[in-house]
Amino acid sequence: MESVLISPANALYFGLPGKAIFILIPLIGIGIFSYIMIRRISPLRSTTPDPRFGRAGERIRSVFKYWLGQYKHPRYFLPGIMHILLFSGFLILSVRSLTLVMMGVIDGFVMPGLGGGLGHVYGVLKDLATTIVLLAALVLIIRRGVFKPARYDVPPRYGKGHTWEAILVLCLITGLVTCDMVFDGSLSAAQIQEGLPTETILPGTGHWVATNLFQTLPQSTLQQLNQGAFLLHELIFFFFLCFLPLGKHFHVITSLFNVYFMKLDKGTVKPVRWGVSDEKLDDLESFGVKVYEDFTWKHVLDFYSCVDCGRCSDNCPANAAGRPLSPRFISIKCRDHGYHKYPLLGSSKVTESDSVLIGNVLEEDEIWSCTTCGACEEECPVMIEYIDKIVDVRRAMVDEGIVPQSLQKPLQALEKRGNPWAKMERKRADWAAVEGFKEVCPVKVLGKKAFADALYFVDSISSFDDRMQDIARATARLLQAADIDFGILGKDEKDSGHEARRFGEEMLFQDLMAHNTEKILDSGVTRVVTSDPHAYNALKKDYQDMPPTDHISELLYERVRSGAITFKPLENSDKTYTYHDPCYLGRHNNLYEEPRAVLDAIPGLRRVDMERSRDRSFCCGGGGLMLFYEPEEEEQRMGVIRVRMAEEAGADVIVTACPFCLVNIEDAIKVAGLEGKMEAIDLCELADRQLDSLKA
Amino acid sequence: MEILVCVKRVPDTAENEIEVNKDGSDIERDDLVYSVNEWDNYAVEEAIQIRDKVGGSVTVITVGDDESEEVLRREMAMGADNGILLSDAAFENSDGRGIATILKAAVAKGQYDLVLTGAQADDGAGQVGGMLAAMLDWPYASLVNSLEVEGGEKIKVGREIEGGNQEINEIDLPCVLSIQTGINEPRYVGIRGIRKVASVDIPVHGAADLGLAAEATGSGGARVKRVDYFVPELGEGAEILEGSMEEKIDKLMELLKSKGGLK
C-alpha cells in the first residue's frame, strides 16, 4: 500500500534516523528485561525440588481452562469480565506490538502470515481489541482510583497499598493502545486527504475515532503525530516490559507457567521433601520451611505470580473472623522478602537471623490460624497454593518446638492415646455398646475372629464425643439399612492423623497412618466407609494401598438412586433446610451434589442454598486439632458467621455431613443466641431419622 | 552455667482416668500412660533458656526404673545436653527424704551452679526440692515464676504472692529452685525430636555408684509410709443457678461480689 507519510523507520527524530533509535530502544529494553529476569529466576535454583514435569496432558488442559479460558475470573463478575477483555486484548495485541517493534527496524514489516486477507481481518480485530482494552482500562482506572473496592485495602500490619502500581499499569496500557490508535488514525487521515486507500476502518473503533478527529489536520501535523505516537508506543512498550517483573504485574509473564505447573491433586499435602521417601524422613537435617530457600521452586513462582487481587483473603474464613491471617499477604510478604534477599542490584543484605521466616516475615498466630479449608486456593485465578506452604511452615515450627500450648496437649494425647482427647483406647467402641442401640444394631469389632466386607472407620470425634456418637450410631444403622456387612476396628483404630499432618506433626501422622494401615489391611475388608470427611480425605489422599473408600453420603446417594433406601415424609415440613458443604467433602473431594440429592429425596423437605455454598462454602471453624487451637486474635467465631449466613438464606435447619462442622455449628448457634430458632443436624442423623421403616 | 534439672515420670492426669485399686494400696496402673511431670517441663525449658543466654550445659536427672529413661529422652529432645538415670532396686519405695538423699549424692558427683525442680509433681508432695537444698546446705527458693541471670554470683528470682503481686528475691549461687508453671512456654517435643536422641547414651547410677548405703533409701529408709488410698465421699451438690440467661448472670455477679471475687 502506498503511504503518504514517512514511515517511522525512515523518519528523522531530532535529526537522528528512526531506524537507529528503533534498534537501540529494543536492544536496551530487552537487555534490561533479560537482566531482571535472570536475577529473578536465579533464586529458584536455591530452592527445594518439586517434580511437576509429568502429566503434560492434564497440565495443558489446565492451561486451556484456567489460563487461556480464564475460568476462575467471572467468579468476581465485573472485574473478572474486565480482566478477560484485557487479557484477550493483550493476546491479540501482542502480535501487533511485535509488528510495530519490527516496523521500526525493517520498514514496511509485515508479520509472516498476515500479508494477505488474514492481515485485513487481523487489522480489524486489533482495532477492536485496542478499543475494548482502552475502554476496559478506563473503567478500571475509575474503579481503582475513585471507587476503591475494599478488597484491595492493605491493613497497616501487612505493609503499604499497591493502588499506585495498579493505576500506573492501567495508564501504561491506556497509553499503549492510544498510541496505536493515533499512529493508525494519523496515517489513515493522511491517506484519505490524498484520496489514497486505507486499511479497513471499522466504525466505532479507536482507529475510526482518531481518523475522523485528525481529518482536518495538515499533513505535517499528521506526520508528527504518526511519528510521535510510534516513538511513545515503543518507549511505553519497553518500559512496561521491564516494569513487569518488578511488581505484581509479573503475573503477565509467570501466570502461564504457574498454571501449567499447578497442583493437580486436590486434598493432598506435599511430602516433607520431594524425593525423600517416608522411610528416609529421619535422615533429614531439618523439616519444613524455615527460610525462603526451603520453599519449593514452584512455591516461589507462586509468590511471583500473585496479582495481589485479594480474592483469596476475601474468601478466607480466618480473615473474615478477624484472625491475623490473610493469605494474599503470605504471598506478598514472602515475595517482598525474596526480592529483598535476592536484590536486582548487588548482593543480599539479609542477615542469617533475619532470614528466619517465623518472627521476621510470618507470625506464629498467622500460620496456626489457617483451617486448611482451601477457599483461597479455590478462588485464585492463577492457581497459587497456600495449604502446602502453611503446612510446610508448620512443619518447621513443630521441628523447632514452636507449638502453642493449646495444641501441645492434644498432640501429645494423639501420640499416647491415639486420640486428641486422651480418652482411653479401650473405650473407643463404647458408642456402639449403648443400651437400646446394641440390641437393634449390633456392631462387630473386627479382629482375629470377626470379619466383614466393609470397615466403618469412625475416627476419634465420632467415637468419643458424646454428641457426635449419635453420628456414629446413625451411620451404623444406615449401613445396616443398606444391607452392608460391616464392622469397626474398636480399640485398634487410632486417629486418622489428618490434622496431625496438616498441623505439621508429620512423624506423628506417619505413626498413626502406619498403625491404621496395618489394622485395616489385616482386617481383610474389601471396602471402607466413613462419616468423617477428614478421615475420608486422609484415607483417600494421605494413606496408600487402602481398599476403596466412600463417604457415607456417596453410599446413601447410590442407595437412594437405586431405590434400595427410601425416606418417609418429614413430619414437620414448615422448616427450611440448608446444606453446609464441609471443606473436606466439597472443595477437597468435589462431593457437592450427592449429599444434596440425598436431602432432596426426603419427601417434604424444602431446601435453600446459602450464598456461599459448594466450592465457595465458608468453613465452620475447622476440624481436628483446630477445635483445640485458641487464636490470640479473633473478633468473631467462623461458625457464628456461618450460622448468620444460614439465617440470611432463610434456613431454620443447617444440615452438614461432618462431625466437626456439627460441633462448630451447634456451638455457634448458642453463641449467636439462635437457640430454638436454628438447629443443626448431620446428614446421617437426618437420613436415619427419615428411614422408611418398611424397607429398612 | 551448669544446671541440673530434676524430673519425674508420672501418670499423666490429663490422659488417664485415675482409679484406686481394689485393696486401696495404689491406683490402678494397668491402662495408665506416663509423661514428664508438667512442672518439670517448665524447669527444663527455663534451664535451656538460661543456657542459651549465658552458656553452659543442662543435665536432666531422674530417680526411677528403666522406663523412666523415656522422660529423660523427652527432655533431651527439648534441648537438655545430658541425662542421668538413678536406678537401683534399693531405691524402690523411697519417701521424699529418700529421693532427696539420692539426688544429693548425684549433685555431689557433679559441678552444678544451679539445681531446678518442678514446684511439685502430679503424684508427689512437693517436698524433694526443699529437702535437697537443706541436705546440700544450699539456699532455696520455691514456687519461682521468674528468673533473672546476669552472670554474677547471684541471681534474681520472683514468686507470686497474695493478690497476684510479685515478689523478687536475690539468691546466692549455687542454689536450688522449685519452678512454678507459667514461668515460660515450654517448647513442643515432637516424635522426630525424640527419635533424634533415641540412641544417645544415658548413664545409669545405682546406690553403689553414688556411695549410698542400702538402708539410707528405699522402703527401709522411708520414715513416711503410705497407709491408704480412697476416693472421698461426694459432698453437697453444687449450686445450680436457675432462670433466664440474664437472671443467671445477675445471680452469679451477686454471689461473686458477696464472696469477694468481684470488687
* End residue of a domain, out of A514, A541, A561: A561
Mean pLDDT of chain A: 95
Domain with A548 in it: what CATH number?
3.40.50.1860
| A415 contacts B188? CB cut-off 8 A | no
Q: Measured on CA atoms in the order B137, B138, B139, B143, is the torsion positive or negative?
A: negative
Q: Position of cell 462431593?
A: A591
Identity of residue B241? L
How far, in Å, CA of A152 to CA of A168, rounded? 15
How far, in Å, CA of B152 to CA of B155, rounded? 7
Whether A505 and A568 map to the same domain: the answer is no
* Confidence band of A388 (pLDDT split at 50, 70, 90): very high
Cell of B194: 525424640
On chain B, the residues whose CB falls within 8 A of the CB of A420 are: none
Q: Position of cell 472421698?
A: B232
Question: Considering the entire predicted model, what is its pTM?
Answer: 0.93
Distance between B170 CA and the closest CA of chain A, angstroms: 30
Q: Answer whether B19 touches A (CB < 8 Å).
A: no
On chain B, the residues whose CB falls within 8 A of the CB of A508 are: 190-191
The string of pLDDT tens digits covering residues A468-498 is 999 999 999 999 999 999 999 999 999 999 9
Q: Which residue segment(s) compose the domain that B143 sits in?
A: 2-221
To probe the interface with A, which of B12, B191, B197 has the most A CB atoms within 10 Å?
B191
How far, in Å, CA of A184 to CA of A202, rounded? 12
How far, in Å, CA of A150 to CA of A265, rounded? 33
Distance between A383 CA and the closest CA of chain B, angstroms: 32
How far, in Å, CA of A496 to CA of A504, rounded? 14
Tell me how many domains chain A contains: 4
**For the range A281-284, what are the long-range contacts, defined as Cβ-Cβ under 8 Å and sequence gap of 24 or more?**
A281/A506, A281/A507, A281/A510, A281/B192, A282/B192, A282/B195
| A401 contacts B193? CB cut-off 8 A | yes
To probe the interface with A, which of B188, B194, B249 has the most A CB atoms within 10 Å?
B188
Nearest to A508 among B14, B187, B191 (CB): B191
On chain A, the residues whose CB falls within 8 A of the CB of B79 are: 401
To probe the interface with A, which of B192, B199, B244 has the most A CB atoms within 10 Å?
B192
Whether A467 and A514 map to the same domain: the answer is yes
| B189 contacts A505? CB cut-off 8 A | no
Distance between B146 CA and the closest CA of chain A, angstroms: 19
Cell of B178: 522449685
**Three-state secondary structure string covering A633-669:** CCCCCHHHHHHHHHHHCCCCEEEECCHHHHHHHHHHH
How far, in Å, CA of B199 to CA of B170, rounded? 40
The pLDDT > 70 percentage for chain A reads 99
Q: Is residue A102 part of a domain?
A: yes
How far, in Å, CA of A608 to CA of A591, rounded? 18
Q: Is residue B9 part of a domain?
A: yes
Q: Answer whether B12 touches A (CB < 8 Å).
A: yes
Cell of A566: 427410601
Please name the helix (run of DSSP H) or strand (run of DSSP E) that holds residue A205, with its range, or none. none
**What pLDDT is stored for residue A318 in this prediction?**
97
The pLDDT > 90 percentage for chain A reads 93
On chain A, the residues whose CB falls within 8 A of the CB of B78 are: 401
Q: Answer whether A414 touches B (CB < 8 Å).
A: no
Task: Please check whether residue B158 is in contact with residue B166, taking contact to mean a CB–CB distance below 8 angstroms.
Answer: yes
Closest chain A residue to B195 measured between Cα atoms? A282
Cell of A425: 483406647
Q: Is residue A413 part of a domain?
A: no
Whether A240 and A126 map to the same domain: the answer is yes
Residue A696: is its pLDDT beyond 50?
no
Cell of A463: 467415637
On chain B, the residues whose CB falls within 8 A of the CB of A510 are: 191
**What number is the average pLDDT over the span A197-217?**
94
Cis peptide before A17 (omega within 30 of 0): no
**What pLDDT is stored for residue A161 in this prediction?**
84
Closest chain A residue to B198 measured between Cα atoms? A282
Q: Position of cell 449466613?
A: A645
Nearest to A401 among B14, B31, B78 (CB): B78
Cell of A5: 507519510
Q: Answer whether A563 touches B (CB < 8 Å).
A: no
Q: Is residue A497 part of a domain?
A: yes
Name the 3-class secondary structure at A451.
coil
| B14 contacts A409? CB cut-off 8 A | yes
Tell me how many domains chain B contains: 1
Whether A314 and A389 map to the same domain: the answer is yes
* End residue of a domain, out of A402, A431, A459: A402
Distance between B13 CA and the closest CA of chain A, angstroms: 10
Q: Is residue B15 part of a domain?
A: yes
Whether A80 and A221 map to the same domain: the answer is yes
**Three-state secondary structure string covering A560-621:** HHHCCCCECCCCCCCCEEEECCCCCCCCCCCCCHHHHHHHHCCCCCEEECCCCCHHHCCCCC
Q: Is residue B53 part of a domain?
A: yes
**What number is the average pLDDT over the span A493-505?**
98
Residue B117 bridge partners (DSSP): B6, B178
How far, in Å, CA of A531 to CA of B72, rounded? 40
| B191 contacts A422? CB cut-off 8 A | no
**What number is the average pLDDT over the span A393-401?**
97
How far, in Å, CA of A476 to CA of A559, rounded? 15
CA distance to A95, A285, A411, A446, per residue, from A111 (Å): 8, 55, 64, 73
CA A129 to chain centre: 30
Task: Please check whether residue A552 is in contact with residue A475, taking contact to mean a CB–CB distance below 8 angstroms.
Answer: yes
Whether A661 and A571 map to the same domain: the answer is yes
Distance between B191 CA and the closest CA of chain A, angstroms: 6
Whether A238 and A103 map to the same domain: the answer is yes
Closest CA to A453 of A565, A548, A556, A557: A548
Q: Measured on CA atoms in the order A450, A451, A456, A460, is the torsion positive or negative?
A: positive
Distance between A404 CA and the closest CA of chain B, angstroms: 8
Please name the helix (run of DSSP H) or strand (run of DSSP E) that holds residue A576, with its range, or none. strand A576-579
**What number is the average pLDDT over the span A379-408?**
97
CB atoms under 10 Å from CB of B114, counted, come to: 24
Closest CA to A478 of A692, A292, A293: A692
The string of pLDDT tens digits covering residues B57-83 is 999 999 999 999 999 999 999 999 999
How far, in Å, CA of A464 to CA of A487, rounded? 17
| A412 contacts B15? CB cut-off 8 A | yes
On chain A, the residues whose CB falls within 8 A of the CB of B195 are: 282, 507
How far, in Å, CA of A139 to CA of A118, rounded? 31
On chain B, the residues whose CB falls within 8 A of the CB of A400 are: 187
Q: Is residue A384 part of a domain?
A: yes
How far, in Å, CA of B193 to CA of B207, rounded? 31
* Confidence band of A694 (pLDDT split at 50, 70, 90): low
Whether A554 and A482 map to the same domain: the answer is yes
Identity of residue A370? C
Task: Please check whether residue A633 is in contact with residue A323, taking contact to mean a CB–CB distance below 8 angstroms.
Answer: yes
**Three-state secondary structure string covering A395-458:** HHHHHHCCCCHHHHHHHHHHHHHCCCCCCCHHHCCHHHHCCCCCCCCCCEECCCCCCCCEEEEC
Q: Position of cell 443457678?
A: B241
Give the ipTM of the model, two decimals please. 0.86
Task: Please check whether residue A474 is in contact with residue A684, taking contact to mean a CB–CB distance below 8 angstroms.
Answer: yes
Helix A219-243 vs helix A77-105: crossing angle, to nearest 10: 120
Q: Is residue A473 part of a domain?
A: yes
Q: Answer whether B240 touches A (CB < 8 Å).
A: no
Q: Is residue A253 part of a domain?
A: no
Whether A383 and A432 map to the same domain: the answer is no
Which residues have a Cβ under 8 Å from the Cβ of A557 and sit 6 or more positions away?
A: A594, A595, A597, A598
Q: Is residue B172 part of a domain?
A: yes
| B195 contacts A282? CB cut-off 8 A | yes
Q: What phi, psi does A530 have (nearest 5°)?
A: -140, 155
Nearest to A424 among B31, B79, B185 (CB): B31
| A408 contacts B192? CB cut-off 8 A | no
CA B177 to chain centre: 11
Distance between B162 CA and the closest CA of chain A, angstroms: 26
Q: Is residue A190 part of a domain?
A: yes
Name the 3-class secondary structure at B178.
strand
How far, in Å, CA of A197 to CA of A193, rounded? 10
Whether A569 and A663 map to the same domain: the answer is yes
Residue A2: is its pLDDT beyond 80?
no
Residue A13 bridge partners (DSSP): A16
Helix A297-305 vs helix A387-400: crossing angle, to nearest 10: 130
Whether A439 and A532 map to the same domain: the answer is yes
**Positions of chain B with pLDDT lower than 70, given as ranges:** 263
Whether A492 and A554 map to the same domain: the answer is yes
How far, in Å, CA of B248 to CA of A375, rounded? 40
How far, in Å, CA of A96 to CA of A130, rounded? 10
Nearest to B33 among A403, A411, A416 (CB): A416
Closest CA to B51 of B132, B113, B140, B131: B113
Q: Answer whether A411 touches B (CB < 8 Å).
A: yes
* End residue of a domain, out of A545, A561, A577: A561
| B188 contacts A413? CB cut-off 8 A | no
For residue B157, count CB atoms less than 10 angstroms from its CB and return exposed for 0-12, middle for 13-18, buried for 19 or more: buried
Cell of A339: 526480592
How far, in Å, CA of B224 to CA of B218, rounded? 11
Q: Is residue A652 part of a domain?
A: yes
| A505 contacts B195? CB cut-off 8 A | no
How far, in Å, CA of A551 to CA of A529, rounded? 6
* Cβ under 8 Å to A: B residues 144-203: 185-193, 195
On chain A, the residues whose CB falls within 8 A of the CB of B15 are: 412-413, 416-417, 422
Distance between B185 CA and the closest CA of chain A, angstroms: 7
A55 Rama sector, left if φ>0, alpha if ψ -120 to 50, beta otherwise: left
* Confidence band of A566 (pLDDT split at 50, 70, 90): very high
Task: Please check whether residue B205 is in contact with residue B212, taking contact to mean a CB–CB distance below 8 angstroms.
Answer: no
Q: What phi, psi does A36 have (nearest 5°)?
A: -60, -45
- DSSP 8-state assignment for residue A381: T
| B191 contacts A507? CB cut-off 8 A | yes
Which residues have a Cβ under 8 Å from the Cβ of B254 and sit 6 or more positions away?
A: none
Domain with B171 in it: what CATH number?
3.40.50.620
Distance between A642 CA and the closest CA of chain B, angstroms: 23
* Cβ under 8 Å to A: B residues 46-85: 78-79
Q: Which residue segment(s) compose the domain that A453 sits in?
A: 418-561
The string of pLDDT tens digits covering residues A134-164 is 999 999 999 999 999 988 989 888 888 888 9
